Amino acid sequence: MTFLVHQVFKSVADSYDAMNDVMSCGVHRLWKDELMRTLDPSPRTRLLDVAGGTGDIAFRYLKYISDMKGDGHVTIADINGSMLEEGKKRALNLELNQDNVSWVECDAENLPMESDSYSAYTIAFGIRNVTHIDKALDEAYRVLEPGGRFLCLEFSQVNPAALRWLYDQYSFNVIPVMGHVVAGQWKPYQYLVESIRKFPCQEDFKYMIESAGFRCVTYTNLTFGVVAIHSGFKL
């Protein structure tokens, strides 16, 4: 699955952000803003953003810290070099201080970072694409220091059932077509839709996070459960 995911995101890297806007009508920006508000970082926060690719979460973190007149640092990790290259281009366009960002091409299931080295770990729309979710969660727990926080923003299960049916119709019948029209790609977006449906529901994913050792695990549904933010602490 790792090779498949690598090829999928390599093929859509240069149009990934545009497609996110089209598919969600821009709402993904609000979801990511809410993730950052939930994290509520301080200048002392040492953030590892996994599957961070084009930098959406990392750049929000740096702006959040900048608004506090602070100077933070974020490590962006992604298995796909093409996505990281797009992120680096965006960082240059935004004229970010490159000393505040580190870019690491690596697997979420086998992070090269030392244990107990970060105070926060975020992953947005990425964990459903790893081959072994339990291994990625174990690695998240390992690299966080005691008291560190895990936050995951991911597509989840829509409620109520009637709304879920409408969402499924949109996902399977509209999103791949949008991918073809906007990005010239059909199959990658078909894969993305299918990966969303295979991902565990809110309660099942909560249990998986707890099984990795995290405590005080909670989740918050956004947009009727289209996405959810799961939170846990290494205590």
Q: Which residues pair with 75 in a beta bridge?
A: 48, 102
- Has 17 been labeled as part of a binding site? no
| Rounded Cα gap, residues 57 and 50, in angstroms | 10
- Distance linking the first and last C-alpha atoms of the chain: 32
The DSSP 8-state label assigned to residue 219 in this structure reads E
55: closest CA among 24, 96, 1, 21?
96
By CB atoms closer than 10 A (0-12, 13-18, 19+), residue 162 is exposed
Peptide bond into 160 cis (omega under 30): yes
- Has 223 been labeled as part of a binding site? no
- Has 78 been labeled as part of a binding site? yes
**Annotated binding-site residue numbers:** 54, 78, 107-108
**Annotated binding-site residue numbers for S-adenosyl-L-methionine:** 54, 78, 107-108
